[in-house]
């Protein structure tokens, strides 16, 4: 069983399937319920390329489909990319239902840090911070989450960073002038907005820009006590 996320709906989806097929497995592929059409097109192309229908089957749907697949004793392995919470649920149901030693490959979220000291070129640091923290609207496990800056360069670096944040353009991802598109859906927007609202109420929002109408999240700089 291969269960893939929505943030890289073609690359991770096909990577999981290709690895499982290369190892001699038949595959039941469940894409994220937000991105089933990309997965359907990918599977159509794989079938057209010669992978038998009986070897690769697409099973789109929500958490109920994933739960049915990962709790079935006939499954001989699971590859999953997604949240840590969901990975723990899969681990638990596999332990109850699958054969002992059934492989479970889980790639879950990252909490990634960048450390900037006084030897860094601030222009390069700000460029990389903007790219890693805000491109893809932060919706990838490799995105920068926590920034650590040496005290004696912090004021200047944060001023430059805020200037860079002001220049980020939010809008339609099809437009070349767009730096940041929307987040994946309203549910994600609400989770992130609530996180920012909590930080704002605690006086920890250092800087934020304004977002257009739609499921957008404005670039926001929040002070934290630790990772």
Q: Would you please indicate which residues are annotated as catalytic (active-site) residues?
A: 107, 141
- Rounded to whole angstroms, the Cα distance separating 113 from 222 reads 14
Partners of 81 in the beta sheet? 107
The three-class DSSP label of residue 3 is strand
Contact 225, 203 (CB under 8 A): no
Other CB atoms within 10 Å distance of the CB of residue 187 = 11
- Rounded to whole angstroms, the Cα distance separating 153 from 158 reads 9
Torsions phi, psi for 43 (to 5 deg): -70, -40
Contact 194, 205 (CB under 8 A): no
Torsions phi, psi for 179 (to 5 deg): -95, -40
Contact 85, 109 (CB under 8 A): no
Where do we find the tokens 């005290």? 151
DSSP per position, 82-135: S-HHHHHHHHHHHHHHSPTT--EEEE----EEEEE-TTS-HHHHHHHHHHHHHG
């Amino acid at each position: 069983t291969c269960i893939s996320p929505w943030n890289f709906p073609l690359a991770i989806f096909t990577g999981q399937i290709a690895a499982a097929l290369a190892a001699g497995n038949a595959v039941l592929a469940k894409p994220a319920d937000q991105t089933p059409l990309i997965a359907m097109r990918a599977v159509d192309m794989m079938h057209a390329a010669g992978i038998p229908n009986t070897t690769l089957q697409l099973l789109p749907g929500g958490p109920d489909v994933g739960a049915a697949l990962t709790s079935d004793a006939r499954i001989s392995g699971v590859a999953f990319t997604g949240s840590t919470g969901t990975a723990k649920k899969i681990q638990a149901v596999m332990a109850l239902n699958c054969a002992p030693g059934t492989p479970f490959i889980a790639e879950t979220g990252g909490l990634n840090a960048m450390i900037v000291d006084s030897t860094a070129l601030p222009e390069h640091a700000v460029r990389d911070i903007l790219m890693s923290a805000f491109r893809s609207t932060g919706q990838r496990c490799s995105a920068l989450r926590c920034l650590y800056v040496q005290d004696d360069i912090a004021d200047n670096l944060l001023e430059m960073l805020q200037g860079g944040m002001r220049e980020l353009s939010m809008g339609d991802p099809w437009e070349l002038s767009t730096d940041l598109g929307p987040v994946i859906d309203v549910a994600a927007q609400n989770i992130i907005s609530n996180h920012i609202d909590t930080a704002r109420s605690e006086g920890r929002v250092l800087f934020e820009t304004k977002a257009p109408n739609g499921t957008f999240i404005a670039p926001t700089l929040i002070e934290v006590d630790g990772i």
